[in-house]
Amino acid sequence: MNIISRFIEFRLIPFVRKWNLENLIVVVIDIFAITIAFQAAYYINYLEIGGFFFSNHRLLFLYFMITPFWIALLYILKATEIPRTKRYITIFYQYFQSTVLIAGILLVLYFVFKLYLISRLFLITFAIFGFISLYVARLLEYMFFKTYRSKGYNYLNIALIADDSSISLMDNILSHKEWGYRIVEIFSNSRKVTEKYRPNIEVLPERYGRVLYDYMEIEPIDEVWYVKESVAATDVRNIVRSCEELGVTFRLNHKETRDNLTNAFTENIADHKFLTFINVPYKPSSLTIKTIMDIFLSFVAIVFLSPLFLGIAIAIFLTSRGPIIFTQERIGLRGRPFRLYKFRTMVADAEALLKELEAKNESDGPTFKIAADPRITRIGKLLRRTGLDELPQLFNVLKGEMSLIGPRPPLESETRQYKRWQLRRLSVKPGLSCFWQIKPERNSIKFEKWMEMDLAYIDNWSLRLDFLILIKTIRTVFQRTGL
């Protein structure tokens, strides 16, 4: 176990950190675990035949039928969420529950598709091995992410409204770095809290609550926790309203058993019961499918479009001086910066020429746009009109920094000029395409209208909406309506 821990800490963590592969790891390992279970069941039941199960077309059909079912079921049961404070017995129960349901689905498929040539003992063996392999895989992932978080990665920034009763919870959070919660601000009138935590964390009196609202605008705050023993309803309402305006998650520590509030759901964190309020899409199963589709479709697109990637790269290289790929720091989820990739469409010294052109800006907001930008190269005009310059962002999607569909990632200089209500567009992952991207002559759309379209996307999000935008994005490429 010590060897595994050392491998995780010194080899695996730097690799995952560099490429931002957390989401991809979870999906790939689950599919791999199911495949190993299928092969093990095949080997035990068809030892005399040998080889691999995919040589049998009936078993291959069953594999492709049951794998998506099992993955989707695990996500519906929230078993694939890498827990921060969940107990091992809870994980065991979730996977056992999924195995029982999958065994039932296997029997249904067996009789509906009349797979009588497949041994029923094979189905039972596969269900057992599937449970074992998935559970072991999840424990290994859990161990990896505990180590990963303890090193300061994959964390959530939280602000606390606390009192004396909150000290034990805060001590637990600070002592369990593997949970991945980073306390960045405490608001409390408690002298004990102030004296104990002020040396390492900024502690402000509760009357400075307005500071919290301003702080959330400029810093990447993921969640606000109200962990006082007594609840001041007026304060809670004000904080909830501010969090919802910015798309920040709000958690209220409570001991009541009735959970009948309209826009809240219950979660357990470190043996504490929280009511969680969130004003961004919260459909766990649908969001999981979105993540899987992001990874799968971006990978497939990169493979199948590789000849196009090569052709564009050669065209850029032959027609203008400078790098083929242009990288730029953009702002992602909750205000976190990342490096965005694009095919270069401008001359090499475009950034230096920007100051000379600022007076000609035709945008009514913080963005810079002019119809006939002299910095754009000849091939760049075609790439922008078709949207093909955005293709390298498929690698950003594969890394988990972006989604296929979502609000376009802004520059930091732009976000500093956002109005308060516009900041909520940062509460979801930025996307390669969005409502704005598929509009004809999109650059003529007023800035505030653009922001309203992004918030409308967040408020009305569904898998169906993502699918429609994706189809229209492909149509935009062929119609060349990007400018």
Dist. CA 100–CA 105, nearest whole Å: 9
Average pLDDT over residues 215-226: 86
Neighbours of 456 (CB within 10 A): 12
Computed over every residue of the chain, the mean pLDDT equals 81
Domain residue extents for the chain: 2-150, 156-277, 284-479
Cα 362 from chain centroid?
Answer: 34
Q: What does DSSP assign to residue 407?
A: P
Q: What does DSSP assign to residue 409?
A: P
pTM over 0.85: no
Closest by Cα among 388, 323, 310, 319 to 349:
323
Residue 417 has pLDDT above 80, yes or no: yes
Dist. CA 365–CA 450, nearest whole Å: 10
b/e per residue, 353-370, with b = 16+ CB within 10 A? eeeeeeeeeebebbbbbe
Average pLDDT over residues 311-323: 91
The bridge status of strand 203-204 relative to strand 223-226 is unpaired
Q: Give percent above pLDDT 70 in the chain.
A: 85
200 by DSSP, 3-state: which? coil
Dist. CA 97–CA 77, nearest whole Å: 9
Q: What does DSSP assign to residue 29?
A: H
Cα 183 from chain centroid?
Answer: 21
Using the structure block, give the residue that is written with the tokens 């010590």: 2
pLDDT digits (tens, 9 = 90+) for 269-289: 777 778 787 777 667 667 777
Residue 20 has pLDDT above 60, yes or no: no
Q: Are 433 and 409 in contact (CB under 8 A)?
A: no
Q: 467-471: list long-range contacts, CB under 8 Å, 24+ apart.
A: 469/405, 469/433, 469/434, 469/435, 469/437, 469/438, 470/404, 470/405, 470/433
Q: Are 158 and 181 in contact (CB under 8 A)?
A: yes
Q: Taking each helix axis as running N to C, give the angle between helix 284-304 and helix 57-76, from 0 to 180 degrees, rounded to the nearest 10.
A: 130
Residue 21: per-residue pLDDT: 63
Residue type, 302: I
Structure tokens at 179: 């949970």
pLDDT digits (tens, 9 = 90+) for 331-358: 998 888 999 999 998 887 777 777 767 6
Alpha carbon separation from 259 to 71, 274, 277 (Å, rounded): 29, 10, 12
Q: Which residues contact 253 (CB under 8 A, 6 or more apart)?
A: 166, 169, 225, 226, 227, 228, 272, 273, 274
> In the CATH scheme, what is the homologous superfamily, with its name and number, of domain 156-277?
Vaccinia Virus protein VP39 (3.40.50.150)
pLDDT digits (tens, 9 = 90+) for 377-408: 889 888 888 888 999 999 999 888 899 999 99
Structure tokens at 168: 């034990």
Q: Are 22 and 400 in contact (CB under 8 A)?
A: yes
Q: Are 84 and 75 in contact (CB under 8 A)?
A: no
Where residue 7 falls among pLDDT bands split at 50, 70, 90? low
